[in-house]
Amino acid sequence: MSPRNGGRGTATDDSTWDAQEVISWCLDQDDPAAAFRAVSGIERTVGEPDEAQHWALPHHRRPGEPANAAAIRNARARFEQTEDLKDRAAARRHVFETHRLPSEADNPDDLLARQRERRRSLARASRWYDLRNQDGDVAELRIYDEISWWGISAEEFVRDLEQITAPEIRVAINSPGGDVFDAIAVYNALRAHPARVTTRVDSLAASAASIVVQAGDHRVMLTASQMMIHDAWGVVIGNAAEMREMADLLDMESDIIAGIYAARTGGDAEHFRALMRATTWLTAEQAVEAGLADEVVDPKPQDSLARRTLNDELAEAMGVVSGVIESAERVAALRADEGKRLSQVNRESLDELERRMEQVRALLDTPSTEDDIEREFARFVLLGADL
């Protein structure tokens, strides 16, 4: 082996690389998994090396020896496919920065490329949105972080959004805000998507996140959630002219945001600018009153509530019917002692009850929806109450 210094990184060796030989050596050790982690330089979460070696990133022939340049190149090429790394950001730094190849020693262009790659690595590690079920009936998009500041750009978000084929998109939001330009890009992308979009504030939609809420065809505030709106703000370093230029830009952006609020509410943009200048916090109910949301919703699943309501109705109906039958039996016994039958009115009511029971039997024998069952038992309860 002939170690070479890879610039500011650790030394590398440019001998040929035989991955199978390295794997075989690991398997011959008393603790193959520990040996494999040592030659990979990256801790894995689970799995023995012989079970998942394809996804590993070995790049040392033996523990403590310099990294092999060819193995580093292979590891970099396979990095995006590697799914079981415990810390992707640390792994990326290890194979892209800690181990520098000879050709990367002092090239400024390579340095910039590595810096860009590091930013992309950090962005992937702090993705501010999560997309699920994009090919199903309802795609679910969750924004639970700052928009773009420490995460990936709106460009990647829009690229993922364009892949959604579901007819409905639900966007769950719990975000303190973020980059105003990217938030507006997200807003416009959601508004332009052919799917029906429901935006839902799970806890907080502050600052730029309140813009994203307005993208919904239907906008929901969950119970106890909040919204905050304020003027755009930014940081600038420079002379007085540059400070004034930034102030003008911030005013323009604030006017644009107020225009979005006004367009979605049918209100006046200057009214919202006044609220923004005051940094206004809104409860869920206040957000609906201001027109920035359509309704406040209890997060309790409605389907479960409907099932419990039907069960309650059934229990009440059985109690009513049992009481009615007992009363009818007592009345019939008393009238029989007198040599009489039940009155015509009582007989007609019992006949009606019998017809209702036939309807119940039909419901049990044929498929039906919960709405149908609930409607029939509601009538059943009313009938019992009238007897």
Cα(228)–Cα(242) distance, integer angstroms: 29
Helix (H, G, I), strand (E, B) or coil at 16: coil
Could you identify the residue written with the tokens 């910039």?
112
Paired tokens of 303:
């389907």
Cα(197)–Cα(215) distance, integer angstroms: 7
Cα(74)–Cα(72) distance, integer angstroms: 5
Helices and strands counted in the chain (H then E): 15, 11
**DSSP E strand stretches across the chain:** 3-5, 11-13, 67-68, 129-132, 138-143, 168-175, 196-206, 218-222, 226-229, 280-283, 295-297
Q: Which of 175, 207, 210, 225 is catalytic?
A: 207
Please classify residue 176 by burial: count the beta carbons closer than 10 Å to its beta carbon, then call 0-12 exposed, 13-18 middle and 19+ buried. Answer: middle
SS (H, E, C) 107-176: CHHHHHHHHHHHHHHHHHHCCCEEEECCCCCEEEEEECCCECCCCCCHHHHHHHHCCCCCCEEEEEEEEC
Cα(28)–Cα(20) distance, integer angstroms: 12
- Give catalytic status of residue 207 as yes or no: yes
* Distance between first and last Cα of the chain: 99
8 Å CB contact between 190 and 173: no
Cα(226)–Cα(306) distance, integer angstroms: 28
Q: Which DSSP helix (H) or strand (E) runs through 275?
A: helix 269-277
How far is CA 307 from each of CA 31, 59, 312, 379, rounded to the nearest angstrom? 55, 58, 9, 17
- Give catalytic status of residue 230 as yes or no: yes
**Residues annotated as part of the active site:** 207, 230
